[in-house]
A and B are shown apart, each in its own frame.
Chain A
């Protein structure tokens, strides 16, 4: 697919350009098919149409999300793993490598950024958000402020970030972001307690309503952590409970479902369970859960990889796309897209091109998986290595 050929000439501020054009109207080869002629006014007021269009654009066939919203501390861990210091220059260099990969927009429809990255540019002075726009990739922004211990719970966490969220979201919109992401977690070994589930769901619902009110499509992410030795049936039970609560509170907060995306964990057994489930089993349990809990109005479900190896994450996604689903079922991967890239780059400029190729290889594999057409033949050993870290903190 050629880069988009028809778009309005840039103004001095890319954000006012983006204000005039929604991603779906341009010659990106992913037109929406179903028209939404009757859209109720809700608390998201003037942004409703744009939210719906943006969500559809991200949920386009053969594409998914590249998650590169690691906080500075977490990005530091990635850089340290290849012997680099955690400086702004290095973070900028790494993100530039990823975001200037030619042809990335063939497989990637959205990129989640950390706040620092949203305001950065390439070494040539081109804004990262413009690099993305040129590839028909929607820029997104992590808006939560991380996890804290939840008092009165069983050692569980809650996610913070509602204070000032409205004005931050409005600023991010001005800078060019069009979707947001908020990650909360639920732990099966810790229960989960009803309190933790309720807090996770309510926080997500409030965040979602505020996001929509300020023009950002909220990605709703209650990650059910892989930690634990529980069987897959237990994960199904917990996932159903969590999503029932999430959707109920989203409805209570008058969130427009046609303008959200989900980022669930797949339904698998716990990392320490004696048996590992096959991709077909994971697909069956995950799709059962989605069919029981996700209203068809939601346009896209972008799975997190949560410690699976690159190949596992792709195989599982592929298994879920062997027959039509009422929503776009795709990926929003961080480690499962970046692992090989980092290892190839090693921080050396002479490796940059090869590293970009590695990203395209993973992105294309997941694109095929979204279409149900992936085969694991020819995958490298590195790509098959698991990335589960017990007690992983972001």
Chain B
């Protein structure tokens, strides 16, 4: 058989297509307990389960926000949590027309013999975990591989190892009913120019799709979560239109039309930057046989967090900020963002953290 064909084939294809619905995208709310702790401490909120639950409830119950979303990626803890009124988050999302997804990787470890390059763990027991997550209501999964640009990086070893890991993860997900989001993030850290980023991105994506094909992954039932093609964080910035051209060209050169959608990561861009870049891509007149949409974490939540500051009386203000970013990105998927989404405090703030560890 040329690729996966089994009881989940139709559902995988339908889910992947739905995620790419024009006007919608993904909220990445799958911060691990450790990472969400960093967010909470930045607004002086204690990292306890009730606070983590409260933050996610704030997001999921924002009136009007769910219409801008096709999916939400959850951390395992959140998959089993409920709203204050006792309704499972999974049901809150489903009733709002939003598909729950689940982070399934177990973080990165260093590759010995390299200059700090990593591979991602999580294949052991993955099949069983996917089955459990499917039972709990999840219909897509996410696994983040990380690569960096340096004088000798990414090495062929790092590319091969991460591509292979993504392919193994992807086919296991499909066998167990979850659409795999394939995320080969090339970190923005560095002083390289946009040409270098384009070159590396194209090489990495070529290797990723070769691995997916070798492992018989059903491309129609997958999504790609790549970095946008940009200059390094320490290099001079360029206009959104330039980012759009380089990014779309990289995808034209590597991503088969069978994949229904690209869900970009924001990787440290400010909320406003990420939206403008996505908008520019959707305005570009060129061959784009896939949807181009968002899967943003920090770039959807930053101003919301600041507005909330952990206080119940701030919830309406925080939800307004969240809705504003959701709408802005929804417009961006249609190429209709005109700017001026009421800039909440922090919307233009760069979210880049050097050598960011999830």
Contact = CB atoms under 8 A, between A and B. Distances in A.
20 contacts: A34-B285, A237-B1, A237-B2, A244-B210, A247-B210, A251-B202, A251-B206, A251-B254, A252-B206, A258-B253, A291-B256, A292-B220, A293-B256, A295-B254, A296-B251, A296-B252, A296-B288, A297-B252, A326-B257, A326-B289
Nearest to A257: B253
Interface string A215-255: 00000000000000000010011001100100110011000
A31 B208 CA distance: 35
B253 A34 contact: no
B256 A292 contact: yes
B255 A38 contact: no
A294 B287 CA distance: 13
B213 interface: yes
A37 interface: yes
A40 interface: yes
Nearest to A297: B252
Contacts of B12: none
Interface string B79-95: 00000000000000000
Contacts of B246: 38
A194 B246 CA distance: 35
Contact of A236 (B2, B210, B249, B251): B2
B199 interface: yes
A297 B253 contact: yes
Contacts of B206: 247-248, 251-252
Interface string B210-232: 10011000011000000000000
Given A237-B1, A296-B289, A291 B255 contact: no
Interface residue tally of chain B, by bracket? 20 to 34
B110 interface: no
B3 interface: yes
Nearest to A251: B206
A252 B209 CA distance: 13
A40 B203 contact: no
Interface string B237-274: 00000100110010111111110000000000000000
Given A251-B203, A326-B287, A294 B257 contact: yes
A20 B32 CA distance: 60
Nearest to B246: A38
Contact of A294 (B202, B220, B256): B256
B198 interface: yes
Contacts of B251: 296
B231 to A, nearest CB: 14
Most buried by B among A236, A257, A258, A296: A296
A213 B251 CA distance: 24
Given A38-B242, A38-B246, A240 B257 contact: no
Which 3 pairs across A and B sit closest by C-beta, in order of nearness? A297-B252, A251-B206, A244-B213
Interface residue tally of chain A, by bracket? 20 to 34
Interface string B285-306: 1111100000000000000000
Interface of A: 34, 37-38, 40, 233, 236-237, 240-241, 244, 247-248, 251-252, 257-258, 288, 290-297, 326
Nearest to B214: A244
A34 B245 CA distance: 12
B137 to A, nearest CB: 30
B287 A296 contact: yes
A291 B222 CA distance: 14
Contacts of B10: none
Contacts of B256: 291-295
B234 interface: no
B289 to A, nearest CB: 4
B126 to A, nearest CB: 24
Given A291-B257, A295-B254, 13 more contacts: A34-B286, A37-B245, A40-B198, A237-B1, A240-B2, A244-B213, A247-B206, A247-B210, A251-B203, A251-B206, A251-B254, A292-B219, A326-B289
A251 to B, nearest CB: 4
Given A251-B206, A296-B252, A326-B257, A233 B2 contact: yes
A241 B288 CA distance: 24
Contacts of A34: 285-287
Contacts of A293: 213, 256
Contacts of B245: 37-38
A291 B253 CA distance: 13
B195 interface: yes
B243 to A, nearest CB: 11
Nearest to A327: B287
A250 to B, nearest CB: 9
Contacts of A295: 252-256
B271 to A, nearest CB: 26
A326 B219 CA distance: 16
Contacts of A288: 258
A110 B121 CA distance: 51
Contacts of A236: 2
A296 B210 contact: no
